């Protein structure tokens, strides 16, 4: 298990060393490509760095391997939708995929996430 690497990456994040943390989590997903949490942390780091395409790709990989993500699982669709909606123009095909995934958790989302899902649906339908 990549426990030591994940702990190292989280410590780097706490110290504000985002670039180092990205390198560490890239190592996690290279060594353990099916480890969803590694992809999840990497996606969040890419999001912080405004590397939207990399963030979406990493969230997609986290979703694909999400069997070990319990608590983070329901946030992946809303986080990915947020990134996709910030792109100009938002990619409608990807929006459609992630809206469908978000619907599974819609009732659990707070109001702002519900509104974001509804906004994405409106963009897709136009």
Alpha helices, H only, the chain: 3-14, 18-31, 36-48, 52-64, 75-85, 92-103, 111-125
**pLDDT tens-digit readout, 30-64:** 999 998 999 999 999 999 999 999 999 999 999 99
**pLDDT tens-digit readout, 58-67:** 999 999 998 7
Write down the residue that tokens 């560490």 correspond to: 24
Question: With a threshold of 0.85, does the pTM exceed it?
Answer: yes
**pLDDT tens-digit readout, 104-121:** 999 999 999 999 999 999
- Tell me if 20 sits within 8 A of 45, measured CB to CB: no
């Amino acid at each position: 298990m990549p426990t030591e690497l994940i702990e190292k990456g989280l410590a780097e994040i706490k110290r504000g060393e985002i670039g180092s943390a990205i390198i560490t989590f890239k190592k996690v997903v290279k060594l353990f490509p099916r480890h969803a949490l590694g992809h999840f942390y990497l996606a969040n780091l890419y999001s912080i760095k405004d590397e939207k395409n990399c963030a979406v790709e990493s969230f997609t990989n986290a979703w694909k391997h999400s069997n070990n993500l319990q608590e983070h699982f329901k946030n992946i669709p809303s986080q990915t939708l947020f990134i996709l909606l910030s792109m100009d123009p938002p990619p409608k095909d990807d929006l459609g995929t992630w809206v469908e995934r978000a619907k599974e958790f819609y009732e659990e989302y707070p109001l702002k996430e519900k509104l974001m899902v509804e906004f994405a649906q409106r963009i897709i339908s136009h």
